[in-house]
Structure 1
């Protein structure tokens, strides 16, 4: 259960870095900032999610840069969100007093968070107020490259030497001539700060309280659309807001996570840039959002996927937020990496991989688009039809699979399953809309692929479906997604046996699952990794569909208990420590909270999702 009033706790900085569990996220549909329990902001990319970060202290606490508002002699801290908003409150206890910092990236007055125009005013507001006693307040803003700070008439102007086109403007409710600066404050006194970028409006009213109030109001009005009633409702509400924070409100895309190169595990080299939009995320995201009342976001993401696909010469597994190609992957030697976990990467080398699941992902999005009332123009249908024809034969060829392995490909069972999805959805679309298509052939091919999966990937000795179509009993948690994509019924005896095998053999303990075992399935990358959070939520859904509501409910509750005090989740969890690893917050993990909660609510007598 999400605690609305968490206790004050000591601030931990292992290796000089905050734990991921001790970070909150704020945003405006264009970018996000991560805010620590120590009052620091160690991550901010401007002006967009996938831009070069101006604050990257998360990846190098000495050279990365930060925007810090904190109290000297800090002893304990805690964070909470203003309910149903992305306005974050941090409280810091010292030996002499209690400081409250309220943070938000501003949403303009009157915004409803569903407009297709930029909702942000390109301003980050920080309001620090002494609640009790006295506080010595330290303020500092240091860009990743140091930058140049000059006094202006109403504050400070900060320019980045790496990006001369980017101008930052810092205003304060007290005189601000230079940085760092210290203020001695008593109970009731406060300092307000506003960091602006993009187009600077020097003459609009400086009113931090109003900025925070209108931002909170916009978020609450967006949450009026929330319809879920079921297990862990406060956490599902927070997950909805977290997904909205990962949403590009202008383009309709959604980043997999708003960070790059957070390692899994600490000290490892599995450090990737997730600030892009994966096509495979769309179907899962849309399915989850639509079921809790957010059809506008669902439709926007579906439309973005179909637009990006239609404009591409060939389908890509991921795109930039504006639908372009993802930059080549490069290592940044200038940053040491989170807790010393090099390399830091920008761009993503998996963008050009062969991954056959993309055929099914795109056609599943098209099917959901039509189901929601959308239309398919002839030119788009022609490309979708070609995609189905390609899937009919491509399944035989090795690919890099759902998990984007970086060695020679295999014929992954999940990829074959998604080729089945492509054929099934294409046949349904052709029949429903009366479109020119070989509907009977596609249906027959889809049925054959299901039979191939059940026959050729089945290992009689291990009593499980296998990660690869040649069998062998090697397990992969992606098999749990086959029922969710309607490839194999969850109640099929071989799927029931596979679910049990995965729960046992891929277990990382206490309900956590590995994606696969690296000694059985080498992926071309050094080292092991942690437990992948979404896989455990897939297990929850399989148990629900198999009628095991008690175990499903218990597993769901245990997973929800692993969220941070703010209700956030990372990509993976270190099974030895329970700590967060991988990029953060991870959209997939929050999709799992929502989708499993909806499924549990619908399967439980007397409950309503």
Structure 2
């Protein structure tokens, strides 16, 4: 590890191996795409015009060739970054020897978030203003492929292209000495631009964008502890919400490593069926009903068409992703190769998908009360697939790249599939079919709890009939109504998971690679969502104070603007994996709501 403070283009950065910490970034977006902005105001990641488009800026994946948008200032001494209240408009303050520069960043919105369903025009606005003293600053923009911005084109998934255009109220790339009150407007536009905005025009557009976010945030409902972080998580999830389709990307980035220098680097700019049930449940509990309904409708439409088995993950358009490829042109974050585009897990067998979809369908029908005969037939088809495959090996929730195994979680989610079909039948007046699925659900639950329980280990195990291994997905069993959290067997399992999989600090590994081979080299960090599942188990089993203490230790790990990664290095606290991770914020929201309700009931 080579830690140092360096001066590059007069931008002072705290770097390790030439890269800033993942945690030193904030997210801006517009419902079609998103960008990461560093504490030094560098745009280090952006795919335009969509989440899954080729990267225009990717210096997080290659410091030299990745592309970036810098605002280098002379004599930088301090950096501070925050969001405007209840908003995704970002403010970065750069303090120099002679003054302070305030940079206000946002992907501009052309109307209320609830109405933004397409990207007729996309624009990233950056308003620079000196608040006191004098600051010398430049704008330096380099695309990762070396192409010029003016007149250049960006490929679009599915074919076609869009032009990029940079508008600047001052000569771009020239150094400008700005004094207190001076402003500089920069707008990178695509998909129908250009937008020629002077400082007053850009300030107005940023103000309207801020108003749109504040209006949307007013609909978030939560009054418990850490309401500010719950709202920030809701905004972050909204930034991962593809407005045009209703899909929610797992994260807006690709190939940020699960272990620095390792090969566990994946593209997360897709929608996992697995995420859907957890996501809609969390969103609905805090008033985000429009997003919940849109995601439910999207996932049911994408995953129940045709007669084949559903896929594990989908593109934003609900189609099968292109093949995973390794990009030899990028060195990877801090040398963590390979960089990958696409995700090979899309072709895996993961039998939990049946239960995930049917749980979504049950949530959908429970709130709408409607279920057409056509959709019911599609859902029963999924149930029949689960009936056929529920005891056959698969790659499991953690998407191992190794020989399939009979994972307890996968079998449990097939039980969930049968249970939700039974509930759906009862809910929608199809009682004659409900009896069949209820019998299957009850029989499989009995078999599962017998075969997953190990008297030798005194807990449930990762695989059926295979004592000696644990994985953190067992903590999800009570959350999916497979077993009660207060069941002594589940309480013992939570204790076993904490004892064997926790490196301390309230963190949990998903599993231990030495005990559970996954076909990959190296290790990974602790998985943030699993710790929130741990909180939920404690609360649901009556150990509310312990759950609160664990929750407090987790929310203390958010970065300077309230964002969470996929994983954390338990030794250093460093953020790892793709960032920000929707699943981590879903976990924060769900645990916060559960704690608030438990504590209110105890008063």
- What is the TM-score with the length of structure 2 in the denominator? 0.95
In 2, the alpha carbon distance for the partners of 1:266 and 1:212 equals: 37
1:538 matches 2:509: no
Give the drift of 1:228: 0.6
Asked whether the equivalents of residues 257 and 336 of structure 2 are also in contact (C-alpha less than 8 Å), the reply is yes
Which position in structure 2 is the counterpart of 1:283?
Answer: 277
Q: 1:292 to 1:119 in 2, by over 3 A?
A: farther
Of 183, 203, 218, the residue aligned with 1:190 is: 183
Which position in structure 2 is the counterpart of 1:56?
Answer: 58
Give the drift of 1:376: 2.0
5 Å-filtered alignment, 1:465-544, equals 465-544=460-539
Asked whether the equivalents of residues 143 and 160 of structure 1 are also in contact (C-alpha less than 8 Å), the reply is no
1:529-585 Cα offsets, whole Å, 9 max, x none, are: 110000000000000011101110000000000000100000000011101000000
Of 563, 572, 580, the residue aligned with 1:577 is: 572
Asked whether the equivalents of residues 539 and 547 of structure 2 are also in contact (C-alpha less than 8 Å), the reply is yes
| Structure 1 residues not aligned, in runs of 5+ | 1-9, 150-155
Which position in structure 1 is the counterpart of 2:167?
Answer: 171
Asked whether the equivalents of residues 230 and 607 of structure 1 are also in contact (C-alpha less than 8 Å), the reply is no
1:603 matches 2:598: yes
In 1, the alpha carbon distance for the partners of 2:216 and 2:320 equals: 31
1:214 matches 2:208: yes
Of 229, 236, 241, the residue aligned with 2:230 is: 236
Give the drift of 1:286: 0.4
In 1, the alpha carbon distance for the partners of 2:115 and 2:261 equals: 42
Which position in structure 2 is the counterpart of 1:125?
Answer: 125
In 1, the alpha carbon distance for the partners of 2:155 and 2:535 equals: 49
- What is the TM-score with the length of structure 1 in the denominator? 0.94
5 Å-filtered alignment, 1:343-422, equals 343-373=338-368, 375-422=370-417
In 2, the alpha carbon distance for the partners of 1:181 and 1:279 equals: 48
Which position in structure 2 is the counterpart of 1:224?
Answer: 218
Which position in structure 1 is the counterpart of 2:265?
Answer: 271
In 2, the alpha carbon distance for the partners of 1:439 and 1:159 equals: 54
In 1, the alpha carbon distance for the partners of 2:197 and 2:501 equals: 57
1:152-211 Cα offsets, whole Å, 9 max, x none, are: xxxx544569999331111112234xxx32111112212110110011245787711011
Which position in structure 1 is the counterpart of 2:49?
Answer: 47
Secondary structure of 1:567's counterpart equals coil
- Higher mean C-alpha displacement, 592-601 vs 389-398: 389-398
Asked whether the equivalents of residues 106 and 121 of structure 1 are also in contact (C-alpha less than 8 Å), the reply is no
In 1, the alpha carbon distance for the partners of 2:120 and 2:35 equals: 13
Which position in structure 2 is the counterpart of 1:137?
Answer: 137
Which position in structure 2 is the counterpart of 1:68?
Answer: 70
In 2, the alpha carbon distance for the partners of 1:405 and 1:120 equals: 40
1:296-338 Cα offsets, whole Å, 9 max, x none, are: 0000000001110233443111100010101110000011111
Give the drift of 1:461: 2.0
5 Å-filtered alignment, 1:327-346, equals 327-346=322-341
Asked whether the equivalents of residues 29 and 107 of structure 2 are also in contact (C-alpha less than 8 Å), the reply is yes
Of 303, 309, 327, the residue aligned with 1:309 is: 303
Give the drift of 1:438: 3.3
Asked whether the equivalents of residues 72 and 140 of structure 2 are also in contact (C-alpha less than 8 Å), the reply is no
1:332-368 Cα offsets, whole Å, 9 max, x none, are: 0011111111100000000010000000011001101
In 2, the alpha carbon distance for the partners of 1:602 and 1:382 equals: 37
Give the drift of 1:496: 0.5
Asked whether the equivalents of residues 43 and 66 of structure 1 are also in contact (C-alpha less than 8 Å), the reply is yes
Secondary structure of 2:82's counterpart equals strand
Secondary structure of 1:71's counterpart equals coil
Secondary structure of 2:356's counterpart equals helix
- Higher mean C-alpha displacement, 449-458 vs 251-260: 449-458
Which position in structure 2 is the counterpart of 1:146?
Answer: 146
| Structure 2 residues not aligned, in runs of 5+ | 1-11
Give the drift of 1:129: 1.0
In 2, the alpha carbon distance for the partners of 1:164 and 1:42 equals: 25
Give the drift of 1:121: 3.5
In 2, the alpha carbon distance for the partners of 1:46 and 1:21 equals: 22
**How many residues are treated as equivalent by the alignment?**
589
Which position in structure 2 is the counterpart of 1:6?
Answer: none
Secondary structure of 2:262's counterpart equals coil
In 2, the alpha carbon distance for the partners of 1:374 and 1:249 equals: 25
In 2, the alpha carbon distance for the partners of 1:327 and 1:119 equals: 23
Q: 1:589 to 1:203 in 2, by over 3 A?
A: closer
5 Å-filtered alignment, 1:32-43, equals 32-43=34-45
Asked whether the equivalents of residues 122 and 197 of structure 1 are also in contact (C-alpha less than 8 Å), the reply is yes
- Higher mean C-alpha displacement, 516-525 vs 183-192: 183-192
Asked whether the equivalents of residues 358 and 420 of structure 2 are also in contact (C-alpha less than 8 Å), the reply is yes
Secondary structure of 1:194's counterpart equals strand
